[in-house]
Amino acid sequence: MYDLEVPKSSVIAAVKKQFVANANVEDSAVVDMLVVKGSLDLDETMMKWKGKSHIMGYIDELVPPKEKTFLEKFFEGN
């Protein structure tokens, strides 16, 4: 739907990271809040209310940066 230029494995890793980040939460009120927040995020994504930049915000930190071209290196002075 969003035509992301990242491999499927990166998207799966980003979703897994969200679950693992909250794995140690034991308070039932906090768990309920996280479930509702996750449900709302999923609904917003499926209804296309989120833009590509919102989705990439979850994924960018997991995708290795592309190698710079000769011109990019040249302009940086490297």
Mind listing the pLDDT tens digit for each residue in 23-56?
999 999 999 999 999 999 999 999 999 988 888 8
Count of domains in the chain?
1
- Whether 1 maps to a domain, the answer reads no
Of residues 32 and 12, more confidently modeled: 32
- Whether 71 maps to a domain, the answer reads no
Torsion region of 8: left, alpha or beta (phi above 0 gives left; psi -120 to 50 gives alpha)? alpha
Of residues 44 and 72, more confidently modeled: 44
Instruction: Give the position of tokens 């994504």.
Output: 45
Q: Which domain holds residue 42?
A: 8-65
Residues 12 and 62: beta-carbon distance below 8 Å: no
- Whether 34 maps to a domain, the answer reads yes
Q: Is the overall model pTM greater than 0.75, yes or no?
A: no
- Arithmetic mean of pLDDT, 49-76: 81
pLDDT grade, residue 63 (50/70/90)?
low
- Whether 76 maps to a domain, the answer reads no
